[in-house]
Amino acid sequence: GTVVQETRLYDPERDETRSMRSKEDAHDYRYFPDPDLLPVVVSAEQIARARDTMPELPWVRRARYVETFALPVQDADALAQDRAVADYFESLVAAAGDARAASNWLNGEVFAALNRADVGIDACPVTPAALGGLISRVRDGTVSGSMAKQVFEAMWNGEGSADEIIEARGLKQVNDISALTAIIDEVMAASPQQVEQYRAGKDKVFGYFVGQVMKKSQGKANPQQVNDMLKEKLSAP
């Protein structure tokens, strides 16, 4: 179509725009030089200096998170929209040494807690260094992911560091092979019918064994170890 130089009005009742008056040249818009305003000449040096002192813009940060940390675009976008959140995230990555875990915790438990308390990231009682310590305990197998959520809640409530809370509450994950073997043997001995079903090809019953082991260990057994050991034990003749 043809673009007409004109002023249009909006009609909210019809939800449409229509022509109000035509315009021919710039003077019709009352654009004219003001003799009291001197020209402003910005040098290349001034532009470069301004560019160098500007903070990293949100979309640049988002692209960097995707490229450098291999984060999904949606996660990176949530982290880069607010400068304070982005700064917290980068401090958390430095403390935890794991960008993906840092992103998951911030976009998950941290944001949920902030929303419940109706506060911003600046008021978060769990510092990046403290949360980084908790993430490290999940990574080294000291606590499971579900236990870590309990620890985070206690940290939010000011009960101490991750290590202090894990010790005080006895939340340390059971990784000892002999202890897990004893629990698995006990569960299998008490469930001969389920053992027979699994060995007959009913793989879905495997979840029953995992649940029983986790129950007897009060949720402290290392889930990955439990899965590996159960598969080995149940496959044995």
In sequence order, the 6+-apart residues with CB closer than 8 A to the CB of 200 are none
Residues 109 and 115: their CA atoms lie apart, in Å, by: 10
Q: What is the pLDDT at residue 237? A: 66
Q: Could you tell me the two tokens for 94?
A: 């430095």
The predicted model gives 118-138 an average pLDDT of 96
Q: What pTM value is reported for the model? A: 0.66
Mean per-residue pLDDT of the chain: 89
What pLDDT digit, counting tens, does each position of 61-76 carry? 999 999 999 999 999 9
Range of weakest confidence among 69-73, 145-149, 164-168: 145-149
What pLDDT digit, counting tens, does each position of 197-215 carry? 888 888 888 888 888 888 8
Q: Count the alpha carbons within 13 Å of 24 in the hemisphere toward its beta carbon.
A: 1
Euclidean distance between the first and final Cα of the chain, in Å?
80
Does the pLDDT at position 196 exceed 70? yes
